[in-house]
Structure 1
Amino acid sequence: MGGHHKKNLRAEKAKVKLKGAKLPKGLNVTKTDFKVRKIEIREQLKESSYTETGQRQLNLKETLSRLKHHSVKFRTDALRSVRDSLKSGNADHLIGHLNELFQGIAAGSLDMERSARQESFKTLDVLLEALQPQAVAPFFHVIATYLRCAMTHVLPAIQEDSLLLLDVLLQRVPPALLAERSASVIIGNFIDMISRARHDNERSNRTLTLNLGQGKQTTVKWRTKVLLRLQQILGTLVSSKQGRITTSRVVHFDPMHPQYYNVLCPVLRDHRDLHAILNEPKLSAEGSQLQTYVEQLLPLLQDNWLEVRPQPQQPLLTQDAAASLHVVVSLMSLLWNLIAQHEEEHNTRELSDWLRKHYAHKFVLNFLAKDGSRFPYQQIPQTAKKSPKDKGHPVDGGELCLPQNLSIVALTCKFFPSANEKQAQLFGHLVGYMQLSLERLNSMTPEQQLSMVASLRPLLLENATSLLNIVAQPLTSLLSATIEAYVGQRFTTREGVATRVLNLLCEMVERSDLYGRFGGEQRFASFLSYLPQLLLKPTVGEATLRAMATLCRQLNRVFMSALLQAAPEVINHLSKLQVTGDSEGEEKFENQKRVLNLFYYARQLDEEGKLEQLEKQLDSDHIAAYLKAVISYN
């Protein structure tokens, strides 16, 4: 062994050595600044997608199987793969596998890993966006089942993330489908997320529970998050029922007042049940369910407010308390809307009477106090600058709490439609607040002005008959301020705010009793003089035109004088005028004749013969001939 090793050493030394100069220090470095190009094999790219006919079924099956894999990585990769395929526009081939696909994606809402749950929500959002509603409808029960399981899960983290799944459904699923299929069950689960029953009975009293979150948010914030989603669900119920309500006129017979009926009335089928025909106090199944919502929700909403309500030593609201108040009064308004829709559909007042009997007094004590001393609410000024994440808080309502206060005004009018002397101080307080709010119109957003009009309507129109008996002077001042703001064009035209104010004033004018009690021509003079100017705009509403006809039939001299003054401009503009509303489908000349008919009454004040001069100057034969007939008709 030793000799063999020595022989190798001698052979190694005998090799010829190449001698040369060594590289300077620092140059013996591998160069990496060269450019490379990625090698792409087109066949591999086609094979990985779902578009190739040969590989589509296999790859789709692998993806569906990986959605149920025990590994979190495999599940999240499968969800990303489905999402990427949908974003690239390859959703057609999924139609035959929607059941398995919805099962696999929706099951991610119950995953123990938060990352997998987040991926499932993102993928479901993309899938629902790519599919038509009629394709989703047969499988919606799968998503709804997993949603209910997530909302009632034993782990608080999964319950909290179930709200994100609901956000996807609220954004992507049509309201009618969501309301029709599972809204009633989801509402029950919402109630369970913030409360528990004191007894086994479903309709028994419930008590609020503590925070379900992971300690990062307070109990108030958690409940506000839950109630915000509940508000959206109730909003879908309200919007889905709006199209079902018929527009037939219902007259409640009163032997003490004159009744007016249509001369021609189509034969209508009576869809009421036997109990409604016999006037028996029995609610329908829908009415009983609605009553259950109210019985469970209203006490919880009031208890939730009582926990954050400000104390006398600190009357201002914190930001969390303001957000809680905003969602609580919004939910109560939605419940009232659902009751109003149900009663209009079934021709009954039973639910609203029951609600006022049991909850009106508690509402005043908890939100206003008997004399209204707790109202209006304001928020503590925010001294510190908000972070970008907190910019535009959606539910705090601002420092003046304008949406909350306006909603409380409207709710009070719903709870007390026939106010008496005992509520004089309370309603005087509310009317005074509304007049102060009108002074801030220029600083309000269109949404806030819509809330303002919604609160003005019950005060000035729906409940005005009883309110004029107890707060006549403040209410009349509020009407004057409203007319002044409308004529001064302080109401925005966005979102139809100015149109709603116009319709409100026109309805008041059409009611001769309110028109007279508010002061008649003297009170409405500026509005009546402004009305003919609306006929010079590109469009005029059906309700506006109907109110003008009523004023002419009442021989209102203020309006007819203003109409005569604007007659040349009105008649010359008539060919360009469009009528919107119920008569939108009529012939244009029929609507033009309705405007010309106004001058039949106004001709009594035409001492200078303006109308006859206009009739001779007109270019249109149809308009000129009809105006001549109107002027000369006796």
Structure 2
Amino acid sequence: MGGHHKKNLRAEKAKVKLKGAKLPKGLNVTKTDFKVRKIEIREQLKESSYTETGLRQFNLKETLSRLKHHSVKFRQDALRNVRDSVKAGSADHLIGHLNDLFQGIAAGALDMERSARQESFKTLDVLLEALQPSAVAPFFHVIATYLRCAMTHVLPAIQEDSLLMLDVLLQRVPPALLAERSASVIIGNFIDMISRSRHDNERANRTLTLNLGQGKQTTVKWRTKVLIRLHQILGTLVHQGGKTLKSSPSRLIKFEENLPQFYNVLAPHRQDLRDLHAILNESSLSAEGFRLQTYVEQLMPLLQDNWLEVRPQIQQPLLSQDAAASLHVVVGLMTLLWTLIGQHEAANNTTDLSEWLRTNYAKKFLLNFLDKDGARFPYQQIPGTAKKASKEKGPADGGELCLPQNLGIVQLTCHFHPNPTQKQGQLFGHLVNYLQQSLQHLGSLPPEQQLQLVEAQRPLLLENARVLLDIVPEPLTNLLTASIQAYVGQKYTTREGVATRVLSLFCDIIERADLYTRYGGAERFGPFLGYLPQLLLKPTVGEGTLRAMATLCRQLNAVFMSALIQAAPEVVGHLGKLQVTGEAEGEDKFENQKRVLNLFYYARDLDKQRKLEQALKEVEQEGSQEAASYLKAVLSLG
């Protein structure tokens, strides 16, 4: 082995050694005169495009990944990217990835950073606006789950921002979808946000929460914000319940001998429209009624306690801005609860729930909101505390006169006490006089408040009138007279259907012969009865109006029939343009015309100036032979 090693050493020594010679000057330079060509991958350029603001535009895969990234900046960039894509009109390619998108966007409601939560709500708003409700419905449970988690979160800041997410759903999601899927659960979460369960044996098993940790926001403002959203949720239930009560019109087939008739031989495929309780052979009445009673049992004590905390002393009857806003939403919620109870009882032909409510809360309502004999009523706000411009969503405080609050209290008092006693005469007289005073300022009221004023008159003048005419007859008849004068003087606006509601109220009173007589009959309703035929000269007339006219003719009301005869030529000549709205809408046009012509059968004996003959000649000249022959037949009967 030693010889082999020496041989290797000799070989190494024989190698040529470099002596470290340097290159000549000018040769140690890097050449840069060669040409290169860029490598372009078009897909990468497309996915890495930039927006006009300089932000990178990610592709869909990157966006879905960044929505779940641990970095707040990455999540916000992904949310902005989705929003920019939808605004640019690229929402169609998102249809196949809506589940992942809603998961990532709705999860932002639970983000610890407020900026990320706000970006999440903005993106959800833009996405829901761009998509059809049918595309959102399969994934709505994802959004609702994150909303409920945010509403019950341990951090007050996340609870507060959950109301902003709910605002997005209330604005962008159809009421039917919101009411069917999660309204009942959300209502329970609302109750938890302002109260907690009690562990004593009190009937009211919840108490208001005091320390919410909301920073600068007061407890009263926080509860008002929560109750405003609860008001909107209950409004969706009322809106949906009103639709379900309307039945679809039945198909009417008239047999004519000389015309071919077509009938369905094969029945179409019938869908099972029953609810879950009917499919399982369970009674839905007990389930729905129990749930509604649970809402009322939990909310009524909380609403009254919330009002008692801000209610001023009798020595200081004026309300602060916060107290006026709180009263506004509390009264509105109670009114919605009564509306839901009315819809439920009308659909199930029962009065158990309303009787239960009156038994438990009627006396407390009078004590807390009106005091004895209405000493606290009406409420007014402290002057000079006008509400500043705010981005907060919800109803205003009602102004210095607190008219919406006071009108709501009048309606609620009639709901709680439909059969007042003689001892409550002073209280109800006070309420009736307040409505009459409000009619004096009718011209300055917006349509919404005019509509509420009409709704407050209905229980006093119609629903509870039989008892009230025994207790406060003079104030009630004075209120009716003032309302009739306002209607004939066209002081009620036609916007929002206000004038139509007033007309419907008067017609309903006239149809009840006992009320019509006790109010004074033709003497009291004279201005209205003389004005009533003029409604037949308008483009449309309501079904209830025609029904009331027929009732007046059958009652041989001389005031109305005389006015009808005087307007006969104009009414008959306008028949071709008249349309009937309401329950009779969609019926044969000539059938509605015959209903108007039948009125002249009762009034023909009062035609001293031969107005009907003049009307008949004008109809024949216009060429309407069908209406002319029918009117001739009506006049020849007798």
Q: Same fold (TM over 0.5)?
A: yes
Q: Post-superposition shift, 1:273? A: 13
> Which structure has the greater CA radius of gyration?
2
Query: In structure 2, how many angstroms separate the alpha carbons of the residues matched to 1:531 and 1:181?
Result: 46
User: Aligned partner of 1:135: which letter?
Assistant: A
**Structure 2 partner of 1:335:** 337
Cross-structure match for 1:564? 565
Note the C-alpha offset of 1:418.
Answer: 1.1
Unaligned runs of 5+ in 2: 1-40, 52-56, 249-273, 278-282
* SS of alignment partner, residue 313 of structure 1: coil
User: d(CA) in 2 for partners of 1:218 and 1:273?
Assistant: 43
Distance in 1, Cα, partners of 2:322 & 2:489: 37
> How far apart are the structure 1 equivalents of 2:485 and 2:329?
32
Task: Verify the 8 A CA contact 1:187 1:230 in the aligned structure 2.
Answer: yes
Contact map agreement 2:228 2:395 (CA 8 A) in 1:
no
Cα distance in 2 for residues equivalent to 1:273 and 1:481: 51
Q: Confirm or deny: 8 A CA contact 1:378 1:399 kept in the other structure.
A: yes
Q: Is the 8 A contact 1:141 1:181 kept in 2?
A: yes
Structure 1 partner of 2:351: 349
1:73 counterpart SS class: helix
- C-alpha distance after superposition, 1:179-225 (max 9, x if no partner): 11111111111111111111289985211112535322211111000
> Partners in 2 of 1:388 and 1:407 — Cα distance?
25
Q: Compared with structure 1, are the counterparts of its residues 627 and 49 closer, same or farther at alpha carbon in structure 2 (3 Å cutoff)?
A: farther
Residue type at the aligned position of 1:165 = M
- Determine helix, strand or coil for the equivalent of 1:381: coil
How far residue 627 of structure 1 moved from its aligned partner, in angstroms, is: 1.4
Change (3 A) 1:526 1:616: same
Distance, in Å, in 1 between the alignment partners of 2:358 and 2:416 is 5
Partner of 1:499: 500
Structure 2 counterpart of 1:33: none
Q: Which deviates the most, 59-68 or 457-466?
A: 59-68
Number of equivalenced pairs: 562
TM-score, normalised on structure 1? 0.85
- Write the deviation string for residues 423-474 of structure 1: whole angstroms up to 9, x where unpaired: 1111011001010011110010000001001100000011111111101111
Show the 5 A alignment for 1:550-589. 550-589=551-590
Structure 2 Cα separation of the partners of residues 539 and 609 of structure 1:
27
Matched, 1:290 2:292: yes
Q: Give how far 1:73 is off.
A: 0.3
Q: Deviations over 1:605-633 (max 9, x none)?
A: 11232212332343232222221111111
The aligned counterpart of 1:593 is 594
Measured against aligned partners, the alpha-carbon deviations of 1:256-284 in whole angstroms (never above 9, x if no partner) come to xxxxxxxxxxxxxxx9999xxxxxx9961
CA distance in 1, matches of 2:589, 2:440: 40
Residue pair 2:48, 2:58 contacting (<8 A) in 1 also? no
Instruction: Judge conservation of contact 2:152–2:189 (CA < 8 Å) in 1.
Output: yes
Corresponding residue for residue 8 of structure 1: none
Please list, as runs of the form range in 1=range in 2, the aligned pairs for 1:600-615 lying within 5 A after superposition: 600-615=601-616
How do 1:89-100 residues align onto structure 2 when only pairs under 5 Å count? Answer: 89-100=89-100
Q: Which amino acid aligns with 2:605?
A: Q
1:424 touches 1:470 (CA, 8 Å); kept in 2?
Answer: yes
> What residue is the counterpart of 1:251 in the other structure?
none
Which residue number corresponds to residue 263 of structure 1? Answer: none
Deviation string, structure 1 residues 330-366 (Cα, Å, up to 9, x no partner): 0000000111111111111000000000000000000
In 2, Cα distance between the equivalents of 1:71 and 1:594?
73
Q: How does 1:185-334 map to 2 (within 5 A)?
A: 185-199=185-199, 205-212=205-212, 214-246=214-246, 284-334=286-336
- The 3 A distance-change label for structure 1 pair 616 and 559 is same
Hey, what does 1:147 align to over in structure 2? 147
Does residue 415 of the first structure (1) align with residue 410 of the second (2)?
no
Question: Are the counterparts in 1 of residues 285 and 348 from structure 2 also a CA contact under 8 Å?
Answer: no
Whole-Å separation in 2 of the counterparts to 1:182 and 1:349:
27
CA drift at 1:44:
7.2
Matches within 5 A, 1:6-21: none
In 2, the alpha carbon distance for the partners of 1:617 and 1:334 equals: 52
Deviation at 1:128, TM superposition (A): 0.9
- Tell me, in whole angstroms, the C-alpha distance in 1 between the residues paired with 2:387 and 2:337: 34
Q: Name the stretch that deviates more: 178-187 or 607-616.
A: 607-616
> Counterparts in 2 of 1:350-365, with a 5 A limit?
350-365=352-367
Q: In structure 1, give the amino acid aligned to 2:613.
A: E
The equivalent residue for 1:126 is 126
Give a deviation string over 1:91-143, Cα, whole Å, max 9, x none.
Answer: 11111111111111111100000000000000111111111111111111111
After superposition, give the CA deviation of every residue in 1:545-575 in whole Å (9 maximum; x if it has no partner): 1111110011000000011111121122222
Q: Secondary structure at the match of 2:436?
A: helix
DSSP 3-state at the match of 2:207: strand
Check 1:61–1:272 CA distance in 2 against 1; reply closer, same or farther (3 A cut).
closer
Whole-Å separation in 2 of the counterparts to 1:137 and 1:608: 66
- Contact 2:80/2:123, CA 8 A, preserved across alignment: yes
Post-superposition offset of 1:90: 1.0
What's the offset of the Cα at 1:593?
1.4
SS at match of 2:574: helix
1:628 equivalenced with 2:635 (yes/no)? no
Find the counterpart in structure 2 of residue 177 from structure 1.
Answer: 177
Secondary structure of 1:70 counterpart? coil
Q: Is the aligned partner of 1:517 residue 2:518?
A: yes
Structure 1 residue 45, shift from structure 2 partner: 6.6
Deviates more, 1:130-139 or 1:409-418: 130-139
Cα distance, 1:303–1:181 mapped onto 2, change above 3 Å: same
* 1:325–1:404 contact (8 Å) kept in structure 2: yes
* 1:452 equivalent in alignment to 2:456: no
Q: Which amino acid aligns with 1:621?
A: Q
Superposed, 1:357-436 pairs within 5 Å as: 357-382=359-384, 387-389=388-390, 394-436=395-437
Kept in 1, the 8 Å contact 2:64–2:100? The answer is: yes
Q: Distance in 2 between matches of 1:390 and 1:443?
A: 26
Bigger CA drift: 432-441 or 210-219? 210-219
Q: Determine the C-alpha separation between the residues in 2 that align with 1:496 and 1:380.
A: 32
Instruction: Evaluate the alpha carbon distance shift between residue 187 and residue 70 of structure 1 in structure 2; reply closer, same or farther with a 3 A threshold.
Output: same
- In structure 2, the CA distance between the partners of 1:282 and 1:415, relative to structure 1 (3 Å rule), is farther
Identical aligned pairs, as a percentage? 77
Q: Distance in 2 between matches of 1:377 and 1:91?
A: 51
Checking the alignment, whether the CA contact within 8 Å between 1:109 and 1:147 is kept in structure 2 is yes
**1:535 corresponds to 2:536:** yes
How far residue 419 of structure 1 moved from its aligned partner, in angstroms, is 1.3
Assess, with a 3 A threshold, how the Cα gap between structure 1 residues 47 and 201 changes in structure 2: closer, same or farther. Answer: farther
Report SS of the residue matched to 2:196: strand
Alpha-carbon separation, structure 2, partners of 1:126 and 1:282: 38
User: How far has the Cα of 1:247 moved from its partner?
Assistant: 5.6
- Structure 2 match to 1:85: 85
Query: Residue in 1 aligned with 2:157?
Result: 157
The aligned residue for residue 439 of structure 2 is 438
